[in-house]
Amino acid sequence: MAITSEGSLAPLPMSPPHKGKGDLLTMWLYLAALVGLYYLLRWYRERQVVSHLRDKYVFITGCDSGFGNLLARQLDLRGLRVLAACLTEKGAQKLKGQTSDRVETVILDVTNTQSIAAATQWVKERVGDRGLWGLVNNAGTFHPFGYTDWLKIDTYMSTLQVNLIGLIEVTLSMLPLVKSAQGRIVNVSSILGRLAFFGTVYSCSKYGVEAFSDVLRRELQHFGVKISIVEPGYFRTEMTDLQKASETMKQVWKEVPPHIKETYGQKFFDAYFENMKNGLLQSSTNLNLVTDCMEHALTSVHPRTRYSAGWDAQFFFIPLSYLPTSLADYILTRSWPKPAQAV
C-alpha cells in the first residue's frame, strides 16, 4: 500500500508479469508451426503437375553429354516430345541410341548465328501452332583453370561467347515460339553465378546468365512465360573431367608470361594444382540432382525461380553468400597458397 496526498492508503501499482519459460516455449512452437505450414503448402503447390505433357515440346541445348544428355532421356521417359540439340553428329547418334523415337536431334553451335537460325526454323516446323513449351539453355563450357592474370583474352571471349552470348541469342531466337505456348525457359547457371571465388570468366558468364534471367522473368510475366534458373554446385561431367582439367591447367601455367609467373612461383602453382584436383575428385556424380530440378521447372504448375542443385550448393555456398563479405572471403581463401611475392 502507498499513502496518497490526502493521507489515505492506495494500492501499489502492479508490475507487469515476467514471461516464463512456458511463454517462450509457446512462442517457438508457434513459429515452428508457421514454418512447417509454409513448407507444407509449398510442397503441395510444387507437386501439382502440368496437364497434357505428352503434347508438349521441349528444346534442350548441349545434349551430347552431361546434364543435357541425361535430361533428354529423363523427359523422354516422362512422355514429353524432346527436341535435343547436340554440337556433334557423334553426340546426336549416341543420344538417339539411348531414347525413343519421340526424341529428335539437331546439330547446333550456339556461337554461330546461322546455326541458331537454322535450329529455330527446324523447331518451328515441328511445334507448329502449339509453340515451344520448354527451352532449356544447358550448353556451356568451362575455361581452363587458372588465376585471372594467367588467362589470355581469347579465353575470356570464347567462354563468354558460349555461356552468355550464345544463351542470349538462342533465347531471343526461340522466344516467339515460347510466348506462343506460354511456356518455360530454364537457364543453367552455376553456384559461381551466386558466389564468385574462382574461375573469373566462368563466374562472369554465369553472373550474366543470372542477370539476363532476372530481367527476362520480370519482363515476360504478363505473357504467361515462366523463367527458372538452375544453379548446380560441383558435379563431375565431361566438362570437368579430371584428366582434361589437369592437362589444361599445366598448359595454361606453361603459357603464363615469365614476369607474371615469377610473382606466383612454381610452389604456388603446385599447391593450386593439388587444390583444384582435390576439388574435382570431390565433385558429385549424381547428375540427377540437377536434371530433377530442370524437370520440375518444366513440369510443375508452380516452378521455382531458382533451384540450388547439390548438397554443397544448398548447405555451404548459398548460406555463405549471405554472410558479410569479409567473413566469406576469409572462409573461402584461408587455405589458399600464398604467391612467392606476396606482401
* Radius of gyration from C-alpha coordinates of the chain: 27
Q: How many residues does the chain have?
A: 343
Q: Residue 59: phi, psi to the nearest 5?
A: -105, 125
Rounded CA gap, 288 and 291, in Å? 5
* Residue owning grid cell 554465369: 206
State in Å, rounded, how far the first CA of the chain is from the last one: 73
Q: Helices 153-160 and 200-219 sit at what angle, rounded to 10 degrees? A: 30
Looking from the CA of 76 toward its CB, the CA atoms found within 13 Å total 22
Pick the catalytic residue: 57, 202, 234, 307? 202
- The verdict on whether 147 is a catalytic residue reads no
Residue 276 sits at the vertex; the CA angle it makes with 229 and 153, to the nearest 5 degrees, is 70
Say if residue 187 is exposed, middle or buried (CB neighbours under 10 Å; 0-12, 13-18, 19+). Answer: buried
Strands (E), the chain: 2-3, 9-10, 57-60, 81-86, 104-107, 134-137, 184-188, 226-232, 306-309
Rounded CA gap, 59 and 68, in Å? 10
3-state secondary structure of 235: strand
3-state secondary structure of 343: coil
CB 48 within 8 A of CB 301: yes
**Residue numbers annotated as active site:** 202
